[in-house]
Protein backbone atom coordinates (compact mmCIF):
# COMPACT_ATOMS: atom_id res chain seq x y z
CA UNK A 1 0.00 0.00 0.00
CA UNK A 2 2.86 2.39 0.80
CA UNK A 3 2.93 5.23 3.29
CA UNK A 4 2.94 8.98 3.33
CA UNK A 5 6.55 10.08 3.52
CA UNK A 6 8.55 12.75 5.36
CA UNK A 7 11.74 12.82 3.29
CA UNK A 8 14.07 15.72 4.09
CA UNK A 9 11.09 17.29 5.88
CA UNK A 10 9.02 17.38 2.71
CA UNK A 11 5.63 15.72 3.10
CA UNK A 12 4.29 13.52 0.29
CA UNK A 13 1.02 11.60 0.25
CA UNK A 14 1.38 7.87 -0.23
CA UNK A 15 0.94 6.38 -3.72
CA UNK A 16 -2.39 4.77 -2.81
CA UNK A 17 -3.92 8.25 -3.02
CA UNK A 18 -2.73 8.85 -6.59
CA UNK A 19 -5.64 10.24 -8.57
CA UNK A 20 -7.54 11.45 -5.49
CA UNK A 21 -8.15 15.24 -5.68
CA UNK A 22 -5.94 17.10 -3.22
CA UNK A 23 -8.93 18.81 -1.61
CA UNK A 24 -10.21 15.37 -0.57
CA UNK A 25 -6.94 14.58 1.19
CA UNK A 26 -7.39 17.46 3.63
CA UNK A 27 -10.00 16.20 6.08
CA UNK A 28 -11.79 17.59 9.11
CA UNK A 29 -13.09 15.68 12.10
CA UNK A 30 -16.80 16.50 12.59
CA UNK A 31 -16.34 15.97 16.32
CA UNK A 32 -13.26 18.04 17.23
CA UNK A 33 -13.27 20.10 13.96
CA UNK A 34 -9.46 19.78 13.69
CA UNK A 35 -7.75 19.36 10.30
CA UNK A 36 -5.80 16.23 9.37
CA UNK A 37 -4.31 14.69 6.26
CA UNK A 38 -5.93 11.56 4.90
CA UNK A 39 -4.10 8.49 6.18
CA UNK A 40 -3.20 5.79 3.67
CA UNK A 41 -3.00 3.30 6.53
CA UNK A 42 -6.75 3.84 6.95
CA UNK A 43 -7.68 4.61 3.37
CA UNK A 44 -11.22 3.31 3.82
CA UNK A 45 -11.86 5.64 6.76
CA UNK A 46 -10.73 8.98 5.36
CA UNK A 47 -14.08 10.17 4.05
CA UNK A 48 -15.73 12.88 6.18
CA UNK A 49 -18.91 10.87 6.70
CA UNK A 50 -16.91 8.34 8.71
CA UNK A 51 -17.08 10.80 11.59
CA UNK A 52 -15.15 10.12 14.81
CA UNK A 53 -13.36 7.15 13.21
CA UNK A 54 -11.47 9.55 10.95
CA UNK A 55 -7.76 8.92 11.46
CA UNK A 56 -6.19 11.60 13.69
CA UNK A 57 -2.61 10.51 13.11
CA UNK A 58 -1.31 13.43 11.02
CA UNK A 59 -2.24 16.86 12.34
CA UNK A 60 -2.45 19.63 9.76
CA UNK A 61 -1.90 23.39 9.86
CA UNK A 62 -2.57 25.78 6.99
CA UNK A 63 -0.39 28.90 7.15
CA UNK A 64 0.10 32.09 5.16
CA UNK A 65 1.63 35.52 5.42
CA UNK A 66 0.59 38.83 3.91
CA UNK A 67 2.22 42.23 3.61
CA UNK A 68 1.16 45.64 2.36
CA UNK A 69 3.84 47.85 0.77
CA UNK A 70 6.12 44.82 0.80
CA UNK A 71 9.50 45.82 2.22
CA UNK A 72 8.85 49.54 1.74
CA UNK A 73 8.11 52.43 4.05
CA UNK A 74 4.92 51.89 6.01
CA UNK A 75 4.79 48.17 5.27
CA UNK A 76 2.51 46.12 7.50
CA UNK A 77 2.42 42.35 7.62
CA UNK A 78 0.25 39.68 9.18
CA UNK A 79 0.05 35.96 9.77
CA UNK A 80 -2.78 33.53 9.13
CA UNK A 81 -2.82 30.12 10.83
CA UNK A 82 -5.61 27.56 11.06
CA UNK A 83 -5.57 24.03 12.49
CA UNK A 84 -9.34 23.51 12.51
CA UNK A 85 -12.69 24.93 11.50
CA UNK A 86 -13.73 26.48 14.83
CA UNK A 87 -12.69 30.04 15.63
CA UNK A 88 -10.61 28.69 18.53
CA UNK A 89 -8.38 27.05 15.92
CA UNK A 90 -7.90 30.12 13.71
CA UNK A 91 -5.44 32.95 14.28
CA UNK A 92 -5.05 36.31 12.55
CA UNK A 93 -1.86 37.86 13.93
CA UNK A 94 -0.53 41.34 13.09
CA UNK A 95 3.27 41.42 12.98
CA UNK A 96 4.90 43.95 15.29
CA UNK A 97 8.12 43.94 17.29
CA UNK A 98 6.65 41.51 19.82
CA UNK A 99 6.33 38.99 16.97
CA UNK A 100 9.43 39.88 14.92
CA UNK A 101 11.65 42.35 16.74
CA UNK A 102 13.54 44.58 14.35
CA UNK A 103 12.64 42.50 11.32
CA UNK A 104 11.73 44.03 8.00
CA UNK A 105 8.04 43.84 7.16
CA UNK A 106 8.03 41.67 4.05
CA UNK A 107 5.85 38.97 2.60
CA UNK A 108 8.58 36.33 2.83
CA UNK A 109 9.24 37.01 6.51
CA UNK A 110 5.50 36.87 7.18
CA UNK A 111 5.26 33.49 5.41
CA UNK A 112 8.14 32.12 7.50
CA UNK A 113 6.70 33.50 10.73
CA UNK A 114 3.35 31.91 9.88
CA UNK A 115 4.98 28.50 9.36
CA UNK A 116 6.74 28.84 12.73
CA UNK A 117 3.46 29.80 14.40
CA UNK A 118 1.65 26.92 12.69
CA UNK A 119 4.05 24.35 14.16
CA UNK A 120 3.69 25.92 17.59
CA UNK A 121 -0.09 25.77 17.39
CA UNK A 122 -0.01 22.11 16.32
CA UNK A 123 2.10 21.32 19.36
CA UNK A 124 0.10 23.29 21.93
CA UNK A 125 -1.79 21.23 24.50
CA UNK A 126 -5.44 22.07 23.87
CA UNK A 127 -7.27 19.42 25.93
CA UNK A 128 -7.43 17.25 22.81
CA UNK A 129 -5.09 14.39 23.75
CA UNK A 130 -7.88 12.27 25.26
CA UNK A 131 -9.93 12.67 22.08
CA UNK A 132 -6.92 11.84 19.87
CA UNK A 133 -6.09 8.76 21.96
CA UNK A 134 -9.68 7.52 21.86
CA UNK A 135 -9.87 7.86 18.08
CA UNK A 136 -6.50 6.22 17.51
CA UNK A 137 -7.46 3.32 19.79
CA UNK A 138 -10.52 2.75 17.62
CA UNK A 139 -8.26 2.39 14.60
CA UNK A 140 -6.61 -0.66 16.22
CA UNK A 141 -3.14 -0.13 14.71
CA UNK A 142 -0.42 -2.76 14.61
CA UNK A 143 2.04 -0.43 12.86
CA UNK A 144 4.67 0.91 15.27
CA UNK A 145 5.10 4.01 13.08
CA UNK A 146 1.51 4.95 13.85
CA UNK A 147 2.56 5.56 17.46
CA UNK A 148 4.47 8.63 16.25
CA UNK A 149 2.47 11.79 15.80
CA UNK A 150 2.99 13.66 12.54
CA UNK A 151 2.67 17.40 11.96
CA UNK A 152 2.22 18.83 8.48
CA UNK A 153 2.47 22.54 7.65
CA UNK A 154 0.69 23.31 4.36
CA UNK A 155 1.47 26.64 2.70
CA UNK A 156 1.23 28.20 -0.74
CA UNK A 157 4.72 29.64 -0.20
CA UNK A 158 7.21 27.71 -2.32
CA UNK A 159 9.84 29.93 -0.70
CA UNK A 160 9.15 28.46 2.75
CA UNK A 161 8.94 24.83 1.64
CA UNK A 162 11.97 24.84 -0.65
CA UNK A 163 13.85 27.01 1.82
CA UNK A 164 13.56 24.67 4.79
CA UNK A 165 13.70 21.37 2.86
CA UNK A 166 16.26 22.08 0.12
CA UNK A 167 18.16 25.34 0.53
CA UNK A 168 18.71 25.28 4.29
CA UNK A 169 20.85 22.10 4.30
CA UNK A 170 22.94 23.51 1.44
CA UNK A 171 23.47 26.79 3.27
CA UNK A 172 24.60 24.91 6.36
CA UNK A 173 27.09 22.84 4.34
CA UNK A 174 28.55 26.07 2.91
CA UNK A 175 28.96 27.75 6.29
CA UNK A 176 25.67 29.63 6.00
CA UNK A 177 26.30 30.99 2.55
CA UNK A 178 24.33 30.74 -0.67
CA UNK A 179 25.84 29.34 -3.86
CA UNK A 180 26.83 32.96 -4.65
CA UNK A 181 28.69 33.25 -1.35
CA UNK A 182 26.14 35.60 0.22
CA UNK A 183 24.37 35.34 3.55
CA UNK A 184 20.88 33.90 2.93
CA UNK A 185 17.99 36.32 3.32
CA UNK A 186 15.87 35.75 6.43
CA UNK A 187 18.36 33.24 7.81
CA UNK A 188 17.32 34.13 11.37
CA UNK A 189 13.79 32.87 10.72
CA UNK A 190 14.94 29.76 8.88
CA UNK A 191 17.11 28.99 11.90
CA UNK A 192 14.10 29.44 14.18
CA UNK A 193 12.02 27.13 12.01
CA UNK A 194 14.80 24.54 11.97
CA UNK A 195 15.27 24.73 15.75
CA UNK A 196 11.55 24.23 16.33
CA UNK A 197 11.37 21.36 13.84
CA UNK A 198 14.48 19.68 15.28
CA UNK A 199 13.06 19.88 18.80
CA UNK A 200 9.85 18.17 17.70
CA UNK A 201 11.83 15.51 15.84
CA UNK A 202 13.80 14.81 19.02
CA UNK A 203 10.43 14.13 20.66
CA UNK A 204 9.77 11.54 17.92
CA UNK A 205 7.28 13.74 16.08
CA UNK A 206 7.54 13.60 12.31
CA UNK A 207 7.38 17.08 10.76
CA UNK A 208 6.73 17.76 7.09
CA UNK A 209 6.12 20.80 4.90
CA UNK A 210 3.74 20.73 1.95
CA UNK A 211 3.52 23.25 -0.88
CA UNK A 212 -0.07 23.73 -2.08
CA UNK A 213 -1.81 26.04 -4.51
CA UNK A 214 -3.40 29.17 -3.09
CA UNK A 215 -6.89 27.91 -3.84
CA UNK A 216 -6.36 25.23 -1.17
CA UNK A 217 -5.04 27.77 1.35
CA UNK A 218 -7.82 30.33 1.23
CA UNK A 219 -8.68 30.22 4.93
CA UNK A 220 -5.13 31.00 6.04
CA UNK A 221 -4.81 33.60 3.28
CA UNK A 222 -7.94 35.39 4.50
CA UNK A 223 -6.70 35.33 8.10
CA UNK A 224 -3.33 36.81 7.10
CA UNK A 225 -4.96 39.60 5.10
CA UNK A 226 -7.33 40.36 7.96
CA UNK A 227 -4.31 40.87 10.23
CA UNK A 228 -2.92 43.44 7.79
CA UNK A 229 -5.98 45.34 6.64
CA UNK A 230 -8.45 45.20 9.55
What pLDDT is stored for residue 208 in this prediction?
Answer: 98
Domain coordinates of the chain in residue numbers?
5-229
Could you give the dihedral angle defined by the CA atoms of residues 135, 136, 138 and 143, in that order, rounded to the nearest 10 degrees? Answer: 170
What pLDDT is stored for residue 30 in this prediction?
Answer: 87
Architecture of domain 5-229: 2-Layer Sandwich (3.30)
> Block means of pLDDT (10 residues each) for the chain, length 230 residues?
80 91 92 89 53 75 98 96 97 98 97 99 77 58 60 98 98 97 98 98 96 98 96
What pLDDT is stored for residue 216 in this prediction?
Answer: 97
Listed in sequence order, the residues at least 6 apart from 225 whose beta carbon sits closer than 8 Å to its beta carbon are: 66, 78, 80
What pLDDT is stored for residue 137 in this prediction?
Answer: 60
Find, among 70, 69, 41, the residue nearest to 56 by Cα. 41
Residue 61: strand, helix, or coil? strand
What's the pTM value of the predicted model, to 2 decimals? 0.90
Amino acid sequence: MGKSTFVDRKFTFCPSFDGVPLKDLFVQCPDCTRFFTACCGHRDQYLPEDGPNLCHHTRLAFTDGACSNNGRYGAQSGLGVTIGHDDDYCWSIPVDDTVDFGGARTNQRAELLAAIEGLKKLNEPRDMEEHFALVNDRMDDDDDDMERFCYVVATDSEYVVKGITEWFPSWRNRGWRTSEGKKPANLDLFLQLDDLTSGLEQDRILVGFLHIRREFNQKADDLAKRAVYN
